[in-house]
Structure 1
């Protein structure tokens, strides 16, 4: 799977360059997105602008990457979703997802959660 990575101070933006995220690409997507060396100590934004179509396995792959970030005490946000993908993710997740219509809003969401964690860690 081809992808682009943009590394910022506390964020990695990961953008798959494929029109379809299905069962054929889902394992590669999960492995690549969760094992990026740039991701160490950083939050993740999944920019899914180029994904036009997905299947149930592809949706599950996105949710797996999303959950792995939170399991490791980092944040994740999704941006660039079309209406169909947004609906599929919302119906499959059963929980709240950080879905932002723009990259700037995705960055804001992730940075607010980062600040929240820092403040809560300071109180303990």
Structure 2
């Protein structure tokens, strides 16, 4: 699987440079993404602009990956879905389970808002 990783101050912008994602490809994606949870910059913006097709198993695995990131106090936002991929996720009732934005810029905004939210929640825990 061909991916481009661009590390920013608060997140990694990862672009999958393939036309489709199949279930067997998600294992490679996991090996790329999960180690990021052990770094100072844990948040991920996954750009799927090149993806024209995603199979059900791969889509389900993306939902699980997002959950793993949120369980580890990290953001996981998917952006720039092609119309047919968005329709496929919606048909499989997965679209409402994932954090999706139309643009990478909006995904950055989500990451920043979630970072602020986590900082505020941590502050509340210490003040109680």
The alignment's TM-score, normalised by the length of structure 1, stands at 0.87
> Unmatched 5+ residue regions in structure 1?
none
List, as ranges, runs of 4+ consecutive aligned residues in structure 1 with deviation greater than 6 Å. Answer: none
Deviation at 1:25, TM superposition (A): 1.2
Larger Rg: 2
Count residues with an aligned counterpart.
124
**Residue 63 (structure 1) aligns with:** 63
Residue 109 (1) aligns with residue 99 (2): no
Output one character per residue of 1:52-83: Cα deviation in whole Å (capped at 9) or x when no partner.
Answer: 11111111222122111111111111101012
Residue 118 (1) aligns with residue 119 (2): yes
Deviation at 1:41, TM superposition (A): 3.6
The alignment's TM-score, normalised by the length of structure 2, stands at 0.85
Cα distance in 1, alignment partners of residues 12 and 39 from structure 2: 6
RMSD: 2.0
